[in-house]
Structure formats: structure tokens, C-alpha cells
Structure 1
């Protein structure tokens, strides 16, 4: 008899497994349908000995010291500030848009104050910011919107920015200084020996039994357990009763080149050309010294593993129907991006998992069957941060 069956060995499931094993001394069966732990953050060494991220680049950044301190128990860190360039009009320029972006693109020599005025002169008046298009054109105008955002968004989401919630482009700031870092968080690091090694240390406990290549339905009724933590797609848990929740997926093409470097930064975006959205060169991220270099090309897709919940009002309404079912399901806790149909950064997932553990610890008797709160609301991660 296991005290907990945890479905999904990504950040949400692994953090909860670690906390429950160490703090409550309870037995856990942790399963994942893939052949590895770590979820989408899984990294591995390719045939040439280069460390790559199997599911595209994962850059750790957070402003939450408690989350950074928690993960520091399981890894040493390598300081890394992520920088991204976009190929626009045949030129590589910083993204998010900053002072150097505009000066390089147009051959200007503006100051920060002049750039503010330049943006203001091109910004379009929008009475109510509702869509991703509204966010951009009301800030920097339509020309930069067309150059940097529209094509990239249409490739990434299969939809025009005018059809997507404002949250999509609101994640990318616009700067009037020369700060070319992609993120502005206080803590910006990469696990020194990779994410997989971090997960392995996190899950190294006698109370945690791991089964990969295992479906929930394979063990649901065969292996006795008292409670479930479910981090998979919430619609799948309920047999797609109300229909499938829409997601965008990705196809990854991993390439090794017989040269030391390929591009000047870790990621280059392609908003105007190519079928792929971006190219990642991992040695920038990992600091690995190697005579060859490894790249990943990302191709957005309508089919494949679920990666990005599509932020449209009707999709949230469909999720709310599943959420009501989840709240009425005893002894099952729904945690994580797929279970709550929201896009989270890695630190937010860790924060949500830690918040969930605190609720479990406060409400669930140890070692006995019982009913507790079964779904973590979207605000939990924010409160944890």
C-alpha cells in the first residue's frame, strides 16, 4: 500500500514527492508515461557528449529566494543571464525590444528619453487592452508589432495576436535602456550539472519508488494507494468528458555541428522567416567546453505532446467545467501546468507544489485515508512567490 500515487515526474510531481517523503515519511509511487524523470526540463548528453535539453531550452529564473534556496538543496548553480536575438530585416537585434534594437534597426542614435518619445509617437490608442495585438500596438506601434510579434505569434500559436489573450505578449517587456537580458529576475542560474541530475538527487529517497513508461490507467486500479496527486492533463483524467482542452505543441530537431560555435547568444528568434520559431545553442546555457556544438530548432505544431494552453476565453470556460469535476473528486489533488491549464514558469510550478504540500501537511492526516482540498487555484503559485 502506497500512501500517495503521484502521476507525472516533472517539477510539480517531483517536488511533492520529495516533500512528502522527507517531511511526512510516507510511501510514494511516482510514475511517468515517458521513459525518464524531469518532465519537459529533462536534459541529456547526445552522442557527441554535448548536454542538450530534450524539449527545448529551459532557463531558470526567479525573484523568490525561498524557491531558489529550496532547489539549491539538490544542485549547484552556474550563473547565467539569458540573452536572445531576433533576426529582423536580415539583422540580429536584441529582443525584448530595447534602445539598441531600435538604433540598430533604423540607424538611429537615440537616447533613452528620445526613444520614449519615439515609442509614444507611434503607439496606437486602444480603449481597452484585451488582445495580444492591443498590448503591442498600444506600446510601440504597428510597425514594430509587424516586424517582431505578428509573424512569430502566428507561427507559435497558429492564431493571429488579435485572437489571443493579452497575457501572451504582455510577458515580453519593452525597454528604453540598453538592458539586453531576456529576464530581469534577481536569481538567474542554470543547474551546474543539468536538470536531470537535480531531479535525481531530489528523488533519491527510500520512500520514493519510480516507474517510468507507465500510464496512470496501468496502475490506477492495480497498485493500492490512499491518495493521488495528478499533474497530467485534467481533461484526460476525466476521459475528455466535455471535449479536449486545446494546446499548442512543438516538434524539436536536434542537430550537432562540427564547429565550436554557431550563433552569438543562446537563442535566436525568427519572427519573419523560416518555419521554425527559434534556434537554441546549448553551450551558451551550460558553459560546456567542447569542439562541437549542439542546436535545437523548434517547430510549432497543432499535434503532439501538450505544451502551451491556448489562452482564449472559450478555452478557460471549458477548463472551468473540468475544474468543477476536480474539486468534487475526493483524495485527488490536481497540481501543475496541465492539471490547472495554465502556463507557468519553472519557479512558479515549484512555488505551487510547495504551497500544495503545505496544504496537504495542514489538512491530511498522516498515513490514513482522508479527504483534503483537491485542486490548487491559479493564485496559489502567486501567493507562494
Structure 2
């Protein structure tokens, strides 16, 4: 019998079976032989990236579309251990002035919107002529208006942002709209990353492969607090909301949530691309059609409408200076808990893409197994 098997309990309790938790569980179990218990309050693994087949037999993302893209060869190579890929480049249209126009704004967007015939070189001059330079870029409004002027800002960004965040772009950090580039060519891909692909058989199958290690035990429909005093473990990895971990002692960190309304239609295709944004009309921000994203062939099609709301599961940290200051108070508390590692979107109050969460989890694994706590937590491979 190995030393690992002889010891009672677990080496790690991981709270949350999304990307951060699953990557750390896999790495710790596979690379160090650690015994890992991963728990999630939801009835499934995969976090918000979880996918499943709906009643029509169409693969859907219950928590809205998750499009994988990364510039990191390391992240892509790591995930490739657990899935094959289907190449996919996401395209988005915005419903503006009775047309569906490419977003991010590009040469075709401007020409079709204004009935022009500009070249790429002329578009740069056009943007320069309508831009309103700002002495200092502080807000999301500043980012867009200083690049493409107020009319494009009003048509494509202001209404969408107000719906998404419940705040005007002038009240939000510049990082919100800085995520969406402006192009002077005809590139209509939403992302420009080196690696753009979807897990061939879905995210859930990928997560199942990641967690299929004999040293990993999974408990679903479980609040980790219910396990205290029932099971022994040596170190906690927490991927949930950091303010909830500390019982909201400084107040709640603000998040935006979403309501997802799923529909199935008796037609092979509902819309021309994976996602259509509605910046100025209706209560929803966008409609996504899953078959574009997954490549599934099916006589019917399923779509999801996204309605932003203030209450509900936390999805998006609200990027405002006062919220960053509140997070810093919670972050200071995390430093008083050497027995807990905080990782992931919710635990670090940052809006990370999926690949960024994977990269953060891999970096956290290296730190856990190479830092001062490594000797205390090291176990013999089983």
C-alpha cells in the first residue's frame, strides 16, 4: 500500500467544478498523486461552460454560448489532452437601423451603414474625422468615442452596454468596451486569436475526461460548508465568489447576471451567424444559435436569448473603481488564509475568458507545487 492510500481523507478540497477547479484537480491528481475531492453546488460539472443535449437532441449551452479562443499554445495544448477540436471562427452581426451589420466594426460595417464605398485607407481617415479625442481615457464611452465618434458609439455600443450592465458607458471602466476592437479591413471574425476551435464532442465530455482520474472524487449538489467536520482535507482551493467565502462581511461585490430563454424552432437555421446583437431594440442583448457553433446537423435548431439582470447567479463583475476597492478589502482577507487558495473569475473578481482561467489555474498549480507551501502539501505519487 502506498503512503498516499494509507492517509485518511483528501489532500485537496476544490470548491467548484468549472475550468479553474477542474484544471487544478486534474493537475494535482495526475502530476503529484494528490487525492482530490471536487464539489459543486450545481448538479453538473463544467461550471458555466457545461453543455448538454436538449429535448430536440440539439447540443446547447444552458448558460449562453461559450466560444473557445486563445493565443496561448500552452493552454491549447493542455486542453487538447482531453478533447479533439472542431475549427470554428465566431461571427457576430448587430441589428442596427434595419440592417444586420458586422461587429466588431469593420470596413463593411461602415460602408453598408452609411451607403459609402470607402477603402481601408479611407476608413482610417473617416474614423479620424468623426473621432472625439479625449485627453484621458477613463470610461467605456471615452474608448469608443475617441476611436470611431459618437454616431457609431450610439448605434452599436451605448444601448447594448446600458442593457448589459444597467449603467451608461460613461459610468463604466474603459476595459468594458476596450475588449471589442475596431478594424479597418473586412475581417468579420469576432476574435482574432491564433487558436479558435470548439471541443469536438462538447465541453462536458472534455470536463469528464479531465476528471476521470482515480484520485479525483466528484460531489455534485453539494455546498462545501456541509462537509466541514465530516471529511478531513489538508488544503482548500476555492473558485466561488470571494465575498461569499467571507460571509459578505464588507458587503456584496456587485455582479451582473443573465436570464437565458431557450427556444427550439422547426427550421434548419434561425439566423445567418452564431450570434446577433440587439444594441437598441428589445429587452435582450443577443440571440445565439448553437448549431453554427457546434457544427451539428439537425432538421431543427435551438437558440438562446440573453436578458441581463441585476439579480441571479454572478456572471460579470461590474468594473467600477469603487467595486475594485471593495474587492481589495476581500483580497486582503484572502492573505490571512494560507490554508485556502483562491482562483478563478469569481474568487479573484475578474472578467476572464475561458483560456485565461485555464492559464491562471495552471500557474496556480505550479505555484502550489513549487512554492513554500509545496513541502507541506507534497504527497507521494500513487
> Are the aligned partners of 2:94 and 2:279 in contact in 1 as well (CA < 8 Å)?
yes
Mapped to 1, the partners of 2:95 and 2:212 lie a distance apart of 43
Mapped to 1, the partners of 2:323 and 2:255 lie a distance apart of 10
Q: Name the residue aligned to 1:139.
A: 147
From 154, 164, 178, the counterpart of 1:156: 164
Mapped to 1, the partners of 2:180 and 2:279 lie a distance apart of 14
Q: Name the residue aligned to 1:119.
A: 127
Mapped to 2, the partners of 1:356 and 1:279 lie a distance apart of 35
Q: Name the residue aligned to 1:11.
A: 19
Q: Following TM superposition, by how much is the alpha carbon of 1:331 offset from its aligned partner in structure 2, in angstroms?
A: 1.3
Q: Name the residue aligned to 1:325.
A: 333
From 204, 208, 217, the counterpart of 1:200: 208
From 279, 286, 307, the counterpart of 2:287: 279
| CA distances 1:172-223 after superposition (whole Å, capped 9, x unpaired) | 0000100000000000000000000000000000000000010021113321
| CA distances 1:99-133 after superposition (whole Å, capped 9, x unpaired) | 00001111111001111111100000210000000
Mapped to 1, the partners of 2:347 and 2:54 lie a distance apart of 31
Q: Following TM superposition, by how much is the alpha carbon of 1:366 offset from its aligned partner in structure 2, in angstroms?
A: 6.4
Q: Name the residue aligned to 1:311.
A: 319
Compute the RMSD of aligned alpha carbons.
Answer: 1.0
> Are the aligned partners of 1:235 and 1:243 in contact in 2 as well (CA < 8 Å)?
yes
Higher-RCO chain (CA-CA 8 Å, sequence separation at least 6): 2
Q: Where does structure 2 lack aligned partners over 5 or more consecutive residues?
A: 1-8
Q: Name the residue aligned to 2:237.
A: 229
Mapped to 2, the partners of 1:368 and 1:188 lie a distance apart of 39
> Are the aligned partners of 1:226 and 1:368 in contact in 2 as well (CA < 8 Å)?
no
Q: Is 1:295 matched with 2:290?
A: no
Mapped to 1, the partners of 2:83 and 2:249 lie a distance apart of 41
Determine helix, strand or coil for the equivalent of 1:272: coil
Q: Where does structure 1 lack aligned partners over 5 or more consecutive residues?
A: 371-385
Kindly report structure 1 stretches of 4+ aligned residues shifted beyond 4 Å. Answer: 364-370
Q: Name the residue aligned to 2:5.
A: none
Q: Name the residue aligned to 1:57.
A: 65
Determine helix, strand or coil for the equivalent of 1:47: coil
Q: Following TM superposition, by how much is the alpha carbon of 1:367 offset from its aligned partner in structure 2, in angstroms?
A: 8.4
Q: Name the residue aligned to 1:353.
A: 361
TM value normalised by structure 2: 0.96
TM value normalised by structure 1: 0.95
Q: Following TM superposition, by how much is the alpha carbon of 1:330 offset from its aligned partner in structure 2, in angstroms?
A: 2.0
> Are the aligned partners of 2:368 and 2:374 in contact in 1 as well (CA < 8 Å)?
no
Q: Following TM superposition, by how much is the alpha carbon of 1:363 offset from its aligned partner in structure 2, in angstroms?
A: 2.3
> Are the aligned partners of 1:62 and 1:187 in contact in 2 as well (CA < 8 Å)?
yes
> Are the aligned partners of 1:42 and 1:53 in contact in 2 as well (CA < 8 Å)?
yes
Q: Name the residue aligned to 1:32.
A: 40
Q: Name the residue aligned to 2:100.
A: 92
